[in-house]
């Protein structure tokens, strides 16, 4: 007789499963009957109020006020005088005069770097954005610094527009200040 070496240990015995109860058809039929009754009652309610509403409104209009109810007073005649007043109205506005002195121009400083090669690389990147910049070497207390500056701009609005265009080209950190 052949021996099964793959299955070692106790032999597997299959347990009989208890028969599952059949779904209760009576419960679903009962729920369906309740739902149909509720829907039917709702439709009957809608039909009953639909027929009564116009009659009640028309009855109310036809009744005359009783002795306890006072009739509404007559509407007063309105006079629209403000239209005439607005036509003749004048307003004086005090506008300060602008001084003829020219305002100081604005500059846009995009970086202050220790390395001149990094400053020149940023200058080239700004040139690809369509602006001309200048690398200004300055002596600081900690050594030499190279500032990348754009400008001069006549108005702050022009400087803001240039800064936004640089931000769209991923050049961030530019600060607006007065030209010195």
* pLDDT tens digits for range 136-156: 999 989 999 999 999 899 999
Cα–chain center distance at 55: 49
- Contact (Cβ atoms closer than 8 angstroms) between residue 128 and residue 164: no
Spell 83-111 as b/e; 16+ CB within 10 A means b: eeeeeeeeeeeeeeeeeeeeeebbbbbbb
User: In angstroms, rounded to a whole number, what is the distance separating the alpha carbons of residues 29 and 24?
Assistant: 9
The yes-or-no verdict on residue 50 having pLDDT over 80 is: no
Q: How confident is the model at residue 121 (pLDDT cuts 50, 70, 90)?
A: very high
65-79 pLDDT, tens digit per residue, is 566 788 888 877 777
Average pLDDT over residues 91-104: 78
Residue 145's pLDDT is what?
Answer: 96
Q: Is the peptide bond before 106 cis (omega within 30 degrees of 0)?
A: no
Tell me the range of 54-63, 92-101, 163-172 where mean pLDDT is highest: 163-172
Closest alpha carbon to 116 in 134, 132, 129: 134
Q: Which fold has domain 106-178?
A: Alpha-Beta Plaits (3.30.70)
User: In angstroms, rounded to a whole number, what is the distance separating the alpha carbons of residues 154 and 107?
Assistant: 9
CA atoms within 13 A on the CB side of 71: 6
Tokens 């070497």 belong to residue: 137
The yes-or-no verdict on residue 60 having pLDDT over 70 is: no
Tokens 């910049």 belong to residue: 133
């Amino acid at each position: 007789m052949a021996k099964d070496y793959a299955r070692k240990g106790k032999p597997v015995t299959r347990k009989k499963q208890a028969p599952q109860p059949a779904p209760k058809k009576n419960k679903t039929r009962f729920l369906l009957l309740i739902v149909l009754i509720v829907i039917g009652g709702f439709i009957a309610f809608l039909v009953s109020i639909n027929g009564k509403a116009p009659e009640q409104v028309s009855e109310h209009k036809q009744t005359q006020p009783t002795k306890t109810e006072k009739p509404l007073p007559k509407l007063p005649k309105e006079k629209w005088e403000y239209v005439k007043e607005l036509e003749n109205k004048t307003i004086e506005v005090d506008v300060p005069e602008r001084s003829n002195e020219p305002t100081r121009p604005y500059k846009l400083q995009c970086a202050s770097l220790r390395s001149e090669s990094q400053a020149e690389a940023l200058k080239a990147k700004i040139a690809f954005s369509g602006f001309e910049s200048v690398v200004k070497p300055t002596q600081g207390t900690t050594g030499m610094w190279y500032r990348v500056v754009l400008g001069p701009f006549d108005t702050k609005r022009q400087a803001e527009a240039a800064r936004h265009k640089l931000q769209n080209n991923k050049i961030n950190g530019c600060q607006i200040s007065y030209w010195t």
